Structure 1
């Protein structure tokens, strides 16, 4: 059936959810989503109401081959049934109690972040090469497998590796230092290598489906911006690059929120030649990334094994610095 015919047949159909279904609704329970449409959505990784409720109307319309008007109606119903939308601040506070904390491996670094990296958030670390960004990502892959009482989340990790910096040998070193079985630790880390920005975005979009039923509480993207930076050069490509980056960040935010997990991203830097005083180092990604990242941390090298972490942006924490070390055993004080 042609798309136009499909839309004409269902355009005027009233989209509703049968009574008594609230809180336990399958996609096909929503009038207007038939078996074929439900199958398309499930194959694209959208298997529950909450994932439908957080979709953009254009995205749903494209995947399900329906009109934008019908997509908006379906999303509105899904939001209602998933209990998304307006809520009082006290209820939002109750949801915030579900937020977990993941240790960095350094007590002073954890203190800077009020206990570690938050779930339901994106934490960005940017800095020059050798500042410890990738080391932190690998350390988090080990730490997330620690029990909660030791600063972990008792779960596995997913790594999107765009710079080919992930080293399982380094994971073995860090795992042994934490008293963990390296073989088990490696089996609980899923690696996905990205070769283009489109590839990177697709992996992130498929991640929600992949981690369903799996105990994954950490997603690492190392690096977030390198492929976008290499593929989009010159001022003429800035707008499309930022649009794609914005969509990618939106996907990562949904991953963090819907699955109550930590999203850790690394970012490259550039030097501002117009700076005559102060530090000319600036992160890539512009205002899109600056506004989207929940926590922004500037890492820089110091003497020998020491590194300095500076928290430069947070919705609820003051700016500050912490000195930590990167040793053979991993991240520490």
Structure 2
């Protein structure tokens, strides 16, 4: 998928560069445009001996020589259906999302304080590490905490229940002894960011972090709105930086087949005639950035998740609860009496890990 939608590298010798520059490039083992596309002029100059001015021209010429390579829709469909999804241990919520939290996409979870946004993030950090033998992703997580709401004890509680659950699944051919509380805790890489600059620095550093931890399959940003709402009184400056953050989030998601999960606050949208409604913060500019938007709210004493934006699922709702072990389904007798047909049929195959909940 990545190679197909990306740029195909051509030979530098076909870019029309002067022979003197080509000799130095070839001597330093630079033969294709892909070899230089991510380099800075200073780095290329140090590696080849070319002047900074010459390096700027080489990089500009190499960049202009790239041409998009088309890919047929059947290939995109086949590769998309083969990607696993991160289950939430709540069947209703997974069904709502079309099978779970998708990879190669940005999923936003919004809602009022205390409704369960961070709980969804913690559950995802555990679920992303489920072994592949039981339908999991078998990856690791990066947690970027901007509010200080991350709780190690909650993560450990969820990890303990997940380990017990996987250990009781019958018919598992492969050994899951490596899936332990310790391995789960070790598989979550935590960053505490105090301002927007630190958030952007961490996000930009994800590709380098993956060189050390190549199994990272989930990036959590909890929350995207905390610093951006208070540090940027000018909406234009905020919108510009949000576009930069979005670009930095989606690039590793697509390239490394990661899921990006962000939380967002709610704000009051005042309409004409004094009416007002609660909407996710950061305005319409940010609203176009997430691939999926999930809004959490209360229906009496019961939590409800409403899918308001998704390219592969219809907008609908599902009830869920937060237990000691993490996210779980709500029993029929606990659902509000106004509950209708809130869910739609899942679009992906069932997982062993979720099927076992019926046992």
Common fold, TM-score beyond 0.5? yes
Other-structure match for 2:195: 196
- Residue from 62, 72, 79 that aligns with 1:74: 62
Q: Where does the alignment leave 5 or more consecutive residues of structure 2 unmatched?
A: 1-14, 45-51, 164-178, 330-359
- Give, in whole Å, the separation in 1 of the partners of 2:322 and 2:292: 21
- Give, in whole Å, the separation in 2 of the partners of 1:17 and 1:128: 59
SS across alignment from 1:248: helix
Is residue 30 from structure 1 mapped to residue 32 from structure 2 by the alignment?
A: yes
1:73-128 CA-partner distances (Å, limit 9, x unpaired): 33355x56xxx532222232233234221111200000011100110000001111
Other-structure match for 2:318: 322
- Give, in whole Å, the separation in 1 of the partners of 2:135 and 2:96: 15
Q: Where does the alignment leave 5 or more consecutive residues of structure 1 unmatched?
A: 1-10, 19-25, 42-62
Residue 282 (structure 1) shift:
0.8
Is residue 131 from structure 1 mapped to residue 115 from structure 2 by the alignment?
A: yes
Q: Relative to 1, partners in 2 of residues 1:123 and 1:153: Cα closer, same or farther, differing over 3 Å?
A: same
Root-mean-square deviation (CA, aligned residues, Å) is 3.3
Is residue 290 from structure 1 mapped to residue 287 from structure 2 by the alignment?
A: yes
Contact 2:98 2:312 in 1 (8 A): no
Residue 150 (structure 1) shift:
3.8
> Equivalences for 1:171-320 in 2 at 5 Å?
171-179=155-163, 181-212=180-211, 214-233=214-233, 237-274=234-271, 280-304=277-301, 306-320=302-316
Q: Relative to 1, partners in 2 of residues 1:27 and 1:190: Cα closer, same or farther, differing over 3 Å?
A: farther
1:290-329 CA-partner distances (Å, limit 9, x unpaired): 111100011112344x311000011121100000001111
1:175-213 CA-partner distances (Å, limit 9, x unpaired): 111125222211111011111111101110111111135
Residue 13 (structure 1) shift:
2.7
User: How does the TM-score come out when normalised to structure 2?
Assistant: 0.71
Q: Relative to 1, partners in 2 of residues 1:96 and 1:289: Cα closer, same or farther, differing over 3 Å?
A: same
Give aligned pairs, total: 286
- Residue from 147, 151, 161 that aligns with 2:145: 161
- Give, in whole Å, the separation in 2 of the partners of 1:149 and 1:218: 19
Other-structure match for 2:49: none
Bigger relative contact order, structure 1 or 2 (CA pairs below 8 A, ≥6 apart)? 2
SS across alignment from 2:118: helix
* Bigger radius of gyration: 2
Q: Relative to 1, partners in 2 of residues 1:160 and 1:308: Cα closer, same or farther, differing over 3 Å?
A: same
Contact 1:163 1:226 in 2 (8 A): yes
1:227-249 CA-partner distances (Å, limit 9, x unpaired): 1111012xxx1001101001101
Other-structure match for 1:144: 128
1:2-36 CA-partner distances (Å, limit 9, x unpaired): xxxxxxxxx97369999xxxxxxx983337949x8
